[in-house]
Amino acid sequence: MSGKDDRGAWGSRLGFILAAAGSAVGLGNLWKFPYLTYRFGGGQGEQNGAGGFVLLYLMAIILVGIPVMIAEILIGRRGRQNPVGSFEAIRPKTAWKMTGYLGILTGFIILSYYAVVAGWTVEYVAKSVTYEFADYQAQVPDDDVKVAVYNESVEAGRAIAGGDNTSIEQNWSKYKASFDSPEALKAAVETKRAELFPVRLFHDFLASPLKQVGYFFAFMLVTVFVVLGGVSGGIERANRVLMPLLLLILLGLAGRVLTLPGGSKAISFLFKPDFSHMTFEMVLWALGQAFFSLSLGMGALLTYGSYLSKGDSIGSASLAIAGLDTLVALMASVIIFGAIFSFNLVMKDAGVGNLFTAIPVIFLSLPGGQFMVIVFYTLIMLAALTSTVSLLEVTSSYLIDERGFSRRWAVLVAGSITFAVGVPCALSFNVLSDFTIFGKTVFDLFDFFATNIALPFGGILILVFVGFVMTDAERREELSDMHPVVYVIWRFLVKYVAPVAVAFVLGALLLGKVTA
Ligand code: PHE
């Protein structure tokens, strides 16, 4: 079969919306957004609020995200090609196709580290099914518990035995003496163990190069398998089942968490406007996160838009996709923070692992907890899959359209290149943890470059192309069903508000005015 016949199309409009929402909803919503709100909420949770950051994020979605999304899908549907081919089809023989190449490159980069984290979810589903968590908990050595108690007492400025020279053992015997009964001590030790084991578990897991590369490979394999199935047979069919399932699971978990004592605290933590500690850094992250979470700026939605038929409304589809994506991010945060506040957890290093270290402690101590852990990690795994599928589809569609590959070869080649690029990311947590460029591991560098530079930069190019290079007649033809007033507002956002906002943030970053 020649490349052109191998393109494919959506079976229905709903299929497109679900697939695009599947691309958008992923680790960005379930892992990154809660982590950023935690970080910008002041780190310790309750005393500061994250309302300011959440508000900035919502503004970024409305003023920049949705206008860019409409622009990007519009290019895809008009060009009917992969990102490179679509720019070339609309403005032949210009340098605009470079925007497409940038997107393809960014696609390889994002997929190569994203699929590593996605691989973590597979391990965690397996662990929760076999209940390996419980065994692990019993294995936390007493010494670790003692050290934890010691560190806590030092941090609190009151090493129990007093003075700077307190040894761990001295501190421990005072600690022991502070309990009325051996049972009370035992209970306290078990609680400590329960808090410690997920962190140990996670660090042991990261330290294994074999597991990191193995799960990454496994996840790429499944992604390749779905994309091989093609647009309506593979991607659409998978998303039709997975997206509704995901929403149901989230609703169930959110409902459960809201009955816990921390549920209402989570709501006020997230939604009470709090502008007392807004920083410019928050603006940078809110904007980058909007691009990342909505899958914008590198041609994923452009590619999905290229399979959309002429009669379908781009405006209302975009609204639905962005709405769903935002809803999922907020629900995930309610679940995670509700659980954290209910258990007074302090997530010490607010790094990549929070989703993997906090959730087991929380859910396993609830009735039916094992079931909830299984459900939760399965949900994250599936959400990640529908995103990796969209990333691999971008690079594959380029090989199909531009290089005349059959779908099968395109997917296998793109998948293999991604795997090769991703191995150093998988090794960033063990063998290559000391290998840094600009002070970042390969994993962190890829994430930073993609989220904070490549996607917003791609976004500006898309905005300028649609806002200034395309004519009103061309734009109008693709958005014929849009109300004239809405159209004028959208055009204003695309031409002025969004590019200026993104350029401002990107400029500040490149001039070193904000730190990463
Ligand atoms: N939007 C996806 C998420 O939130 C990630 C992604 C980014 C997917 C860019 C495709 C393109 O997890």
Q: What is the 3-state secondary structure (H, E, C) of 143-191?
A: HHHHHHHHHHHHHCCCCCCCCCCCCHHHHHHHHHHCCCCHHHHHHHHHH
Interval 94-123 mean pLDDT: 95
| Per-residue pLDDT tens digits for 299-324 | 999 998 998 888 889 999 999 999 99
Residue type, 370: Q
Q: Quick one: which atom of ligand 1 is closest to the CA of 26? A: 12
Pocket lining: 24 vs ligand 1, CB cutoff 6 Å: yes
Q: CB–CB of 495/467 below 8 Å?
A: yes
Q: CB–CB of 104/395 below 8 Å?
A: yes
Pocket lining: 115 vs ligand 1, CB cutoff 6 Å: no
Report CA-CA distances (Å) from 92 to 26, 85, 357, 397. Answer: 35, 9, 51, 19
pLDDT over threshold 70, residue 514: no
Q: Quick one: which atom of ligand 1 is closest to the CA of 325? A: 4
| Per-residue pLDDT tens digits for 269-292 | 899 877 777 888 888 889 999 999
Q: CB–CB of 236/11 below 8 Å?
A: yes
Q: Which two tokens stand for residue 132?
A: 């390996």
Sequence-ordered list of residues with C-beta below 8 angstroms from that of 240, at least 6 positions apart, any chain: 14, 15, 18
Predicted local confidence at residue 45, as pLDDT: 44
Among 57, 102, 292, 389, say which to mutate for ligand 1: greatest number of ligand atoms within 8 Å of CB.
Answer: 292
Interval 227-240 mean pLDDT: 78
Predicted local confidence at residue 12, as pLDDT: 76
Predicted local confidence at residue 346, as pLDDT: 58
Least confident of 100-109, 129-138, 218-227: 129-138
The 3-state DSSP class for residue 404 equals: coil
Pocket lining: 391 vs ligand 1, CB cutoff 6 Å: yes
In terms of average pLDDT, the best of 33-37, 50-54, 421-425, 507-511 is: 421-425
Pocket lining: 199 vs ligand 1, CB cutoff 6 Å: no
Q: From 8, 446, 1, 3, select the one nearest 227 (Cα to Cα).
A: 8
How many angstroms separate the alpha carbon of residue 230 from the centre of ligand 1?
19
Interval 208-218 mean pLDDT: 96
The one-character DSSP state at 427 is: G
Residue type, 58: L
Predicted local confidence at residue 2, as pLDDT: 40
Interval 250-254 mean pLDDT: 86
Question: In 10 A of CB 439, how many CB atoms?
Answer: 8
Predicted local confidence at residue 163, as pLDDT: 64
Least confident of 62-71, 235-244, 339-348, 506-515: 339-348
Higher per-residue pLDDT: 380 or 10 = 380
DSSP class per residue in 96-130: THHHHHHHHHHHHHHHHHHHHHHHHHHHHHHHHHH
Computed over every residue of the chain, the mean pLDDT equals: 86
Among 293, 395, 449, 455, say which to mutate for ligand 1: greatest number of ligand atoms within 8 Å of CB.
Answer: 293
Pocket lining: 339 vs ligand 1, CB cutoff 6 Å: no
Pocket lining: 387 vs ligand 1, CB cutoff 6 Å: yes
Interval 329-349 mean pLDDT: 77
Pocket lining: 27 vs ligand 1, CB cutoff 6 Å: yes
How many angstroms separate the alpha carbon of residue 296 from the centre of ligand 1?
8
Among 73, 295, 321, say which to mutate for ligand 1: greatest number of ligand atoms within 8 Å of CB.
Answer: 295
pLDDT-derived band of residue 489, with 50, 70 and 90 as boundaries? very high
How many angstroms separate the alpha carbon of residue 292 from the centre of ligand 1?
5
Pocket lining: 292 vs ligand 1, CB cutoff 6 Å: yes
How many angstroms separate the alpha carbon of residue 226 from the centre of ligand 1?
17
The CA radius of gyration of the chain, in Å to the nearest whole number, is 24
CA-nearest residue for atom 6, ligand 1, is 295
From CA 260, how far away is CA 342, in angstroms rounded? 6
Q: Quick one: which atom of ligand 1 is closest to the CA of 29? A: 4
Q: Which two tokens stand for residue 201?
A: 């578990």
Residue given tokens 């997206």 in the structure block: 243
How many angstroms separate the alpha carbon of residue 168 from the centre of ligand 1?
46
DSSP class per residue in 44-86: SSTTS--HHHHHHHHHHIIIIIHHHHHHHHHHHHHH-S-HHHH
Q: CB–CB of 318/67 below 8 Å?
A: no
Higher per-residue pLDDT: 453 or 159 = 453
Pocket lining: 23 vs ligand 1, CB cutoff 6 Å: yes
CA-nearest residue for atom 12, ligand 1, is 26
Interval 39-65 mean pLDDT: 81
Pocket lining: 293 vs ligand 1, CB cutoff 6 Å: yes
Q: CB–CB of 391/228 below 8 Å?
A: no
How many angstroms separate the alpha carbon of residue 289 from the centre of ligand 1?
10
How many angstroms separate the alpha carbon of residue 382 from the centre of ligand 1?
13
| Per-residue pLDDT tens digits for 56-76 | 999 999 999 999 999 999 999
Pocket lining: 329 vs ligand 1, CB cutoff 6 Å: no
pLDDT over threshold 80, residue 115: yes
How many angstroms separate the alpha carbon of residue 439 from the centre of ligand 1?
25
Least confident of 206-215, 356-365, 397-406: 356-365
Residue type, 265: K
Interval 8-19 mean pLDDT: 79
From CA 107, how far away is CA 493, in angstroms rounded? 26
pTM of the full structure: 0.87
| Per-residue pLDDT tens digits for 413-462 | 999 999 999 999 999 998 998 888 888 899 989 988 998 899 999 999 99
Residue given tokens 């692990």 in the structure block: 136
Q: Quick one: which atom of ligand 1 is closest to the CA of 28? A: 4
Q: What is the largest CA-CA distance in the chain?
A: 82
pLDDT over threshold 60, residue 240: yes
How many angstroms separate the alpha carbon of residue 387 from the centre of ligand 1?
6
pLDDT over threshold 50, residue 268: yes
From CA 17, how far away is CA 317, in angstroms rounded? 6
Predicted local confidence at residue 96, as pLDDT: 96
Pocket lining: 306 vs ligand 1, CB cutoff 6 Å: no
Q: Which two tokens stand for residue 281?
A: 């850094």
Q: Which two tokens stand for residue 151?
A: 């560190």
What are the φ/ψ torsions at residue 437 (nearest 5 degrees)? -125, 130
Residue type, 330: L
Predicted local confidence at residue 321, as pLDDT: 94
How many angstroms separate the alpha carbon of residue 119 from the centre of ligand 1?
15
